[in-house]
Amino acid sequence: MVATFEDRDGQIWMDGKMVPWRDANVHLLTHAMHYASSVFEGERCYNGKIFESRRHSERLLNSGVAIDMPIPWTVDEIEAAKQQVLAENRLTDAYVRAIAWRGAGQDMGVSSKNNPVRLAIAAWSWGNYYGDAKMKGAKLDIAKWKRPSPETVPSHAKAAGLYMICTMSKHAAEAKGCSDAMMFDYRGYVAEATGANIFFVKDGEVHTPDPDCFLNGITRQTVLGMLRERGVTVHERHIMPEELEGFEQCWLTGTAAEVTPVGQIGDYRFEVGALTRDVAESYEKLVRS
């Protein structure tokens, strides 16, 4: 029987000290549980080194500022805490989750400025996010929910509240036998998957949505740099739904997803072609270098 995430051996860093895994708890009236006042990062450690670790720590702090929740730790302190977690749990290849949230305090309503901002970091072994789809090509549903306008939410923060519609969309996709769902944005343009950015290939050139209302992922930025170094023409632009029929290849990028080929989105099918395989293999070499 697989252990639940609340019942495991190990240590979790919480507010400056290591806590036994099973004791890493918060109060029922924690503000984040009621009002989604929380931001987080997902990172992967390869051979003892967290890929783009500082960029993740910097983004965590920026996300906190974006939701009016300044995090009272520095990048250097967060970096040291992540290394402590890995060492305490004797992990060299792992997924690392840093999360900051408004805790329980004097306020229990929408306003929460009198409540402390807390920070925790956990790490665990985690394989392919999409299982064997990473080799065969993932099958995606098309979500009914859309990524919202940046005028309604801080869409460039990695904030917990922004993932509610992602969870709903992924559940609906899994019920149909899919690995994930592709989402449109509030204007009807292709946006992303529920937790990963998306790329398409046509006639040897790459097309990817302009991240003007969703997270511009660190893995996305890494892959864009790899493509440009290879001289591949890349178009960051708004993509209409009817264009899906003309694309030949497709892949997803994300810290958890890494580079995962896509074989199908709704009724549209894609080949796991040479460029997709090259990008996936090159990314794997890069993160382990």
Active site residues: 158
Q: How far apart are CA 200 and CA 222, in angstroms?
A: 16
Burial class (CB in 10 A: 0-12, 13-18, 19+), 75: middle
Distances in Å between the alpha carbon of 143 and those of 35, 180, 257?
A: 24, 9, 18
The answer to whether the CB of 184 falls within 8 A of the CB of 241 is yes
Residue 88 makes CB contacts below 8 A (sequence gap 6+) with 10, 11, 18
What are φ and ψ of residue 244, in 5° steps? Answer: -55, -35
The answer to whether the CB of 264 falls within 8 A of the CB of 256 is no
3-state DSSP assignment of residue 129? coil
